[in-house]
Structure 1
């Protein structure tokens, strides 16, 4: 990718406009804010000035059977009539009716609803060009409905994709094809297996570049196939779906209405299209409101992001990061099946904070689910740093070779007297894969235990500034550099400044307290520690990579601590500072 995008477009969704401002038929107070939140989003979009905006559906909250449908549509047109960029829209289930399943909680799509949508909002499906790209807007609530429009749309889509072969195509729709697994059972938030399989095959066969979907009010990123396009499920502007609050280990706060008003997750995406590839930028609205008649506030444009996460910063993924979690059946939108979903706000955090390099145990490369997810993240620009404490066996060598393009470096850990041998054992594996090899010294509580009565177990890794001779031995054995530890008692700036000016250097910066029984929740100290490390690394002639420990809160267990993001995966002050740094807007 080059540094300058060809153009930028915006995708918004799930505004759920009510017939009257401040009034909603929904039982959640947050829903009364939908109109004012949409009005603020229009002001923010005008500030961001994309080439055009696509609304992915659920423009209004009342469904077509309700008498408020027409009035809500009129409010939608009034609010979005203030939008400066061109606006395109496609139908969601609230606008058109639910997909045709007998257990869906609202009336399914029918011919009357389809006619009402067309007369109120415009065509069910459409396509248009911008630059050299083709944009296909698809009405997937009608799939499998038996309506004449269903067969007609399939014919149109097949012809459209065939005519666009060889071009860059962005496919935009409402329901996600699936959330986690292409073979997952049908539930409220995906397509039925038959149309899902047919649609997925078409999109993969014709080389669509990306798929955008909505409906879930929750961010997800999933590849349609190992080498196929990514499907990006975008955030809502109105409210959060409560069932997906179960993705996070920390419960909603009292003011968040059991998850409905987790407002840090509201917003929209700006999509920067480059000569090769694209990049998403999340505009968090934080639930901001603008009432009718109020002066439009000064909203700064969202700064452009680099075309891919820049090398230099990373994080230790200590907690499970690739596994799907089970969302309980709730009696509101799903009652007869469990559904599996990943917490892809982790990806949001990594992209937003500019954290390219991800430290993981070698075990993750050996696990098929984690390995597949590594490949997905690598296509988004991330790289992994697997670490190992044993020589490679055949499985490890095969995994390294298979994922070589996704790796930033390999870290090998051993006690001082065994480190050169460990490096020698890994040298050929790393060299064959074309991946740098770094050494790291093991140290434990046994190495520093005194004769006093106080004792605490711990296991650590990394060189100190006094380990120059040991690093030389490791590099003589074939290591390309070393990992250095910045302990809780260390000044990050001083330790990083003293690191060697040769080889590949990694600084491992801990954010916890030195005492494993003490909670480190001083966000100001953590932010200062993070930014001091970044500043020192950028001033160092060897340009060391800084790995922070850790990304999300540890609110229990050993070394409890706040992370860059909290247990709901909303940014803490250190995460916000890194995001500002990545966007070039940091003011210290």
Structure 2
């Protein structure tokens, strides 16, 4: 599905889409909330924005995972808030299915919980206003099950009634693809984690997971946590949805950095608000994160005639670039007991916000060290993500040992290549070992050379520590000699290159593509976002976003290269400090937004490379490629300057996309100022 979302450009095998939203916490009125946090008073307006965005995306239906309202059933304002919810969500242009949350029927059982637990009177109040609290429905040949998670372990009569109903319902529909919806997720990191505020307690947890496994539930969606998580358990995908209203800021512990000004200690981190759009195909489903719905009505579209719809990466065309995962991309941490929800134990949780950002940008390839494969926990996570389409390029210094080779062989279904980095003195002496590894694992092996400051020539008093790897275009004579060495062809499938910050990505990548094509090889390439000197910082978002735009266009056109951006996340301390695609809170920077919007807006790769031509005039650079032009202003400029620079490519109706804001329109209507990279798509594209 190319973007903006459009039914006429949807993949031919797309069956239907549905949306999943959670935790709207609607207040009795727009100017009042029983919560002490100012951001909670914005909940009603944020729901209106979500409804508007859902209508633009046009799913077949929407499932709301509960906490429809903020006042709990024991408060007098509950009924008024329920009326406000119904008024706001009556604006949806498609059917809405409701799941009861703990704010709607009472908390799960527990004397230590901060609100009263579920009771029969609370259930009756909910049913009288919203209808059934557990039920199922069918759509497009699939079965959808709504479960009242608060009943589990309650001992109420309704608990056993729901259990009996669920067993019978799943049995009757066992030949259908099934999706399940609860408010509390079964778990958020591990099915064996301790019971806490954010999961379903035992013994009901195991009972429910056993039912999901027995009846092959394809996807299970939970809310309540106001943060994003993804797990795979016994062939089922388990998702925890973000909130459309506010963030549960106890999870701000993920970020080793203070919340930004105005974020209410993380509660009002609006970049973490959003919902899911789920695409259902004959053989799979794809869950996408939509988290820019608050921006569209605020930002002035720089492209005239903007339709304001979210730019979402197409399922059949993920990003043409991967990322180098220098930081731990699957970090586990412990959330302190808070005095508000959990007070008697720390929660061990995994930070899935890097994954959420990758999904949003369409990035499915990570370059990781071999130590990730050797770590049982991380390797298990790699295997889980492989079911969602992720691939991993593994690199190692030196020839890997027996344990690593065994794991590479076992995991070759999700390892795309092996990069072996050697000192120059060993480049031609290890081919026999490398050839054996290539035959054993069945993986393509890419060869790389290491360079350190110890081997550099230094003049005067200048000396800077560094360890670099990857061939450069200056190594062509060395490479010619290398591939002529006996045994090279049996051992090596490709070469690994590095493009320094001081080099133009388009020029260097095109030259590398031509070089390796002439040698009959493929190549992996690291495009550096860091400065060439370890003490220099690169924190200019504009220049980094421009570099990412250049790299993505080149990757779209050059098909013998696997290109990775180095790195994914900010390095704001230590050596080579620089901005990445995401900040330390895993929120998309300008570079990340450019990566997302450009991947979403580019036409499908054809497999046929077209010519790349880079031009410059005054303060504008533009890259001409087969389907259009990417314009990169060095500073804020007028749209007249953009139109003038790409005049030969502009026809009436030419589509333009502001790659930072995501707004799209026609080049004739573009007004105001242009502050970042812009895509100009030819009419024929």
Q: Find the counterpart in structure 2 of residue 9 from structure 1.
A: 18
Shift of 1:470: 5.1
Q: Find the counterpart in structure 1 of residue 548 from structure 2.
A: 530
Shift of 1:298: 7.6
Q: Find the counterpart in structure 1 of residue 199 from structure 2.
A: 190
Q: Find the counterpart in structure 2 of residue 489 from structure 1.
A: 502
Q: How many angstroms apart in 2 are the aligned matches of 1:136 and 1:151?
A: 17
Tell me whether 1:25 sits opposite 2:25 in the alignment.
no
Shift of 1:348: 1.3
Shift of 1:393: 2.1
Q: Find the counterpart in structure 1 of residue 480 from structure 2.
A: 469
For 1:94, which of 97, 103, 113 is the aligned residue? 103
| Alpha-carbon contact 2:292-2:310 (below 8 Å) kept | no
Q: Find the counterpart in structure 2 of residue 216 from structure 1.
A: 225
Cα distance change of structure 1 residues 266 and 443 upon mapping to structure 2, 3 Å threshold: same
**SS of residue paired to 1:335:** coil
Cα distance change of structure 1 residues 425 and 229 upon mapping to structure 2, 3 Å threshold: same
Tell me whether 1:258 sits opposite 2:265 in the alignment.
yes
Write the mapping of 1:100-115 to structure 2, written as runs, cut at 5 A: 100-115=109-124
Q: Find the counterpart in structure 2 of residue 207 from structure 1.
A: 216
Task: Give CA deviations for 1:500-542 in whole Å, capped at 9, x if unaligned.
Answer: 22322111011011221222101111111112122233333x4
Shift of 1:111: 0.6
Task: Give CA deviations for 1:70-90 in whole Å, capped at 9, x if unaligned.
Answer: 000000000001111000001
**SS of residue paired to 1:559:** coil
**SS of residue paired to 1:566:** coil
Shift of 1:308: 5.3
Q: Find the counterpart in structure 2 of residue 446 from structure 1.
A: 454
Q: How many angstroms apart in 2 are the aligned matches of 1:303 and 1:498?
A: 31
Cα distance change of structure 1 residues 389 and 470 upon mapping to structure 2, 3 Å threshold: farther
For 1:272, which of 268, 271, 279 is the aligned residue? 279
Q: How many angstroms apart in 1 are the aligned matches of 2:140 and 2:267?
A: 39
Q: Find the counterpart in structure 2 of residue 418 from structure 1.
A: 426
Q: Mean Cα displacement is larger for which, 468-477 or 480-489?
A: 468-477
Q: Find the counterpart in structure 1 of residue 142 from structure 2.
A: 133
Shift of 1:305: 3.5
**SS of residue paired to 1:57:** coil
Gaps of 5+ in 1: 292-296
For 1:73, which of 82, 86, 90 is the aligned residue? 82
Tell me whether 1:234 sits opposite 2:261 in the alignment.
no
| Alpha-carbon contact 2:227-2:241 (below 8 Å) kept | yes
Tell me whether 1:548 sits opposite 2:565 in the alignment.
yes
Cα distance change of structure 1 residues 442 and 545 upon mapping to structure 2, 3 Å threshold: same
Cα distance change of structure 1 residues 30 and 132 upon mapping to structure 2, 3 Å threshold: same
For 2:577, which of 539, 560, 563 is the aligned residue? 560
Tell me whether 1:431 sits opposite 2:435 in the alignment.
no
| Alpha-carbon contact 2:438-2:491 (below 8 Å) kept | no
Q: Find the counterpart in structure 1 of residue 589 from structure 2.
A: 572
**SS of residue paired to 2:575:** coil
Task: Give CA deviations for 1:184-217 in whole Å, capped at 9, x if unaligned.
Answer: 1011001112111111111012111111111000
Q: Mean Cα displacement is larger for which, 265-274 or 413-422?
A: 413-422
Shift of 1:424: 3.5
Shift of 1:351: 1.5
**SS of residue paired to 1:255:** coil
For 1:344, which of 309, 330, 352 is the aligned residue? 352
Shift of 1:431: 3.1
**SS of residue paired to 1:404:** coil
Q: CA RMSD in A?
A: 1.9
For 1:519, which of 528, 534, 537 is the aligned residue? 537
Q: Find the counterpart in structure 2 of residue 294 from structure 1.
A: none
Task: Give CA deviations for 1:393-447 in whole Å, capped at 9, x if unaligned.
Answer: 2211221122111111110000223123445323333333332111111111122
Q: Find the counterpart in structure 2 of residue 355 from structure 1.
A: 363
**SS of residue paired to 1:217:** coil
Cα distance change of structure 1 residues 299 and 29 upon mapping to structure 2, 3 Å threshold: farther
Q: Mean Cα displacement is larger for which, 490-499 or 84-93?
A: 490-499
- Given the two structures, how large is their TM-score scaled by the length of structure 1? 0.95
Q: Find the counterpart in structure 2 of residue 167 from structure 1.
A: 176
**SS of residue paired to 2:278:** strand
Q: Find the counterpart in structure 2 of residue 330 from structure 1.
A: 338
Shift of 1:113: 0.5
Q: Find the counterpart in structure 1 of residue 130 from structure 2.
A: 121
Q: Mean Cα displacement is larger for which, 525-534 or 359-368?
A: 525-534
Shift of 1:11: 0.4
Q: How many angstroms apart in 2 are the aligned matches of 1:189 and 1:27?
A: 21
Shift of 1:354: 2.1
Shift of 1:573: 0.9
Q: How many angstroms apart in 2 are the aligned matches of 1:442 and 1:429?
A: 20
**SS of residue paired to 2:217:** coil
Cα distance change of structure 1 residues 459 and 210 upon mapping to structure 2, 3 Å threshold: same
Q: Find the counterpart in structure 2 of residue 503 from structure 1.
A: 521
Q: Find the counterpart in structure 2 of residue 49 from structure 1.
A: 58
- Given the two structures, how large is their TM-score scaled by the length of structure 2? 0.82
**SS of residue paired to 2:45:** helix
Q: How many angstroms apart in 1 are the aligned matches of 2:324 and 2:462?
A: 29
| Alpha-carbon contact 1:303-1:583 (below 8 Å) kept | yes
Q: How many angstroms apart in 1 are the aligned matches of 2:171 and 2:442?
A: 39
| Alpha-carbon contact 2:313-2:596 (below 8 Å) kept | no
| Alpha-carbon contact 1:127-1:134 (below 8 Å) kept | yes
Aligned length: 580
Cα distance change of structure 1 residues 285 and 578 upon mapping to structure 2, 3 Å threshold: closer
Shift of 1:165: 1.6
| Alpha-carbon contact 2:296-2:308 (below 8 Å) kept | no
Q: How many angstroms apart in 1 are the aligned matches of 2:230 and 2:411?
A: 20
Write the mapping of 1:285-324 to structure 2, written as runs, cut at 5 A: 285=292, 287=294, 300-303=308-311, 305-307=313-315, 310=318, 312-324=320-332
Shift of 1:224: 1.9
Write the mapping of 1:148-159 to structure 2, written as runs, cut at 5 A: 148-159=157-168
Q: Mean Cα displacement is larger for which, 99-108 or 516-525?
A: 516-525
